[in-house]
Structure 1
Amino acid sequence: MKFGLNKATGERIRPEPGLFAVCPFCEAALVPKCGGVRIHHWAHRNDKMCDRWWEPETEWHRSWKNVFPAEWQEIILPDKGTGEKHIADVCTSHDLVIEFQHSPINPQERITREKFYKNMVWVVDGSRNKFGFSRFMKGIRHFEYIEKGLFRVANPEEYFHPAWLESAVPVIFDFKGSEPGEDSIVMKNLLYCLFPIRVGKYVTVAEMPRETFINSAINGKWSLHVKRFIDELNREKQEWQIRDAALRLGLC
């Protein structure tokens, strides 16, 4: 964890040698880990995280978190109906949850987290899986151009990790950590957003500079743009289903 809670003052504090803090989530004692190998962080004394959705942080996690205000980071969000609560990596002032995922994720956990947070977006570390990255790079040459920064992709299972193809929310792939190569240099500051609606065999992918995503998440425009675009995709899907049904019945 980046922040522990100073029980005396109620302030969130960063780890430093000799400091004492408790977990904002479960109020158990935390230990500052300030070595030279891993990023500085707070840890439970038994090294067991109290939120089962939490994964050990990497430099990639921390660098992404740090582009957002500190008061938006590691926010505890409760379900008012059940009392269940979890720590969101980032929750903006516009109630957009951003989850940064470095490790593989169980499909059931992904579904559960999407249902819990609702208005959310995944940012996935695409650099950790070299096969996935090379597969994506081969596939991008076959993406069908719609307009600037927007592509239609047939048979997406050939290019994207199957764990993310069934997501109900946008999934952004970040390849910045990939080893430099002929193509990866060009892509270094680009993000690729996979939208959740499939129309026939096609999905839609947006290519954008990382600053575009960051700025729109901060100013609140991201959720508005995504909602409008997904509504448009749903209309397109309904029209396709009607045409497909008519073709099957021999009406066209």
Structure 2
Amino acid sequence: MKYALVDGIKTEAVKGVKGFCSSCGSELIAKCGEQKINHWAHKGNRNCDPWWEPETEWHRSWKKNYIIGCQEVVLTDEKTGEKHIADVRTEHGLVIEFQHSHIRSEERISRERYYKNMVWVVDGTRLKRDYPRFLKGREEFRSTEKKSIYRVDFPDEVFPKNWLKSYVPIIFDFKGLEMTNDDDIRNNLFCLLPVRKGEIMLVAEFSREAFIRTTTNGE
């Protein structure tokens, strides 16, 4: 976790400081070292949220685009009492989950059904083959009546198959933490929309700045 409650305030991990989990209330240990990014951890192997995963620098770099109050927000199902910690929940109620590691289809579906109003941002640099495959497939994108929205006839040849049946928008980030030239297409994000006609799907292209701005202001 990036944050723990210290005297009731969301605080990043600092060596020697005692914090508490905002979800289960248990004590957290500050893990601060040179090998991994600073983070909070439950004692032992305990973790109150089975969906929680170790974070990468890519993960953290995305979260910091949003105010602290919107990061690591605990959401509770009022009927069942089930709790999960969303990476980001904007002031307008949109949940944004940042995904670097592989995720099982069952868990992806569970998260989408639980959060409902959500989008995924996926690290497209995790596997070396993902960006070259996308770049090759992008040559076959077909324009539509709407600017920057394209038709993809064979999406399974362009994007990882485990994301093709998602119920919510999937936004691929092929830049990661790399430094790129201003005209590099990796500076943009590519959103696979959850609508399809047979095998045909739609992809929207937009800038990171536009995504951050519109998710922040509710557009």
TM-score range, shorter chain: over 0.9
Letter in 1 for 2:3: F
| Sequence identity (%) | 51
CA distance 1:177–1:185, change in 2 (3 Å): farther
Alignment length (residue pairs): 218
Write the distance in 2 (CA, Å) between the matches of 1:44 and 1:112: 23
- 39-48 or 164-173: bigger deviation: 39-48
The ranges of structure 1 where at least 4 consecutive aligned residues each deviate by more than 2 angstroms after the TM superposition are: 177-182
Matches within 5 A, 1:41-60: 41-60=39-58
CA distance in 2, matches of 1:68, 1:13: 15
User: Which structure is higher in strand share?
Assistant: 2
- Segments of structure 2 that go 5 or more residues without pairing to the other structure are none
Q: Report which of the two structures shows the higher radius of gyration computed on alpha carbons.
A: 1
Decide whether the 8 Å contact of 1:127 with 1:178 is kept in 2: no
Does residue 4 in structure 1 map to residue 4 in structure 2? yes
Deviation at 1:72, TM superposition (A): 0.2
1:25: how far off? Answer: 1.4
What is the one-letter code of the residue matched to 1:100? F
Deviations 1:125-175 (CA, angstroms, capped at 9, x unpaired): 001111122111110000001243110000111111111000000000001
SS of corresponding position for 1:108: helix
Q: Is 2:75–2:85's contact at 8 Å kept on the other side of the alignment?
A: yes
Instruction: State how 1:68-87 maps to structure 2 within 5 Å.
Output: 68-87=66-85
Query: Quick one: higher RCO (CA 8 Å, sep 6+), 1 or 2?
Result: 2
Matching residue of 1:248 = none
Structure 1 residue aligned with 2:199: 201
Cα deviation, residue 216, structure 1: 0.5
Distance 2:134 2:115 in 1: 28
Return the letter of the residue paired with 1:154.
D
- Tell me the distance in 2 between the aligned counterparts of 1:178 and 1:43: 25
Tell me the residue number matched to 2:162: 163
Q: Which residue of 2 aligns with 1:112?
A: 110
Q: 1:40 to 1:178 in 2, by over 3 A?
A: closer
- SS across alignment from 1:142: coil
Residue 16 of structure 2: aligned partner? 18
Cα distance change of structure 1 residues 49 and 160 upon mapping to structure 2, 3 Å threshold: same
Runs (5+) with no aligned partner, structure 1? 222-252
CA contact 2:58–2:177 (8 Å) conserved in 1: no
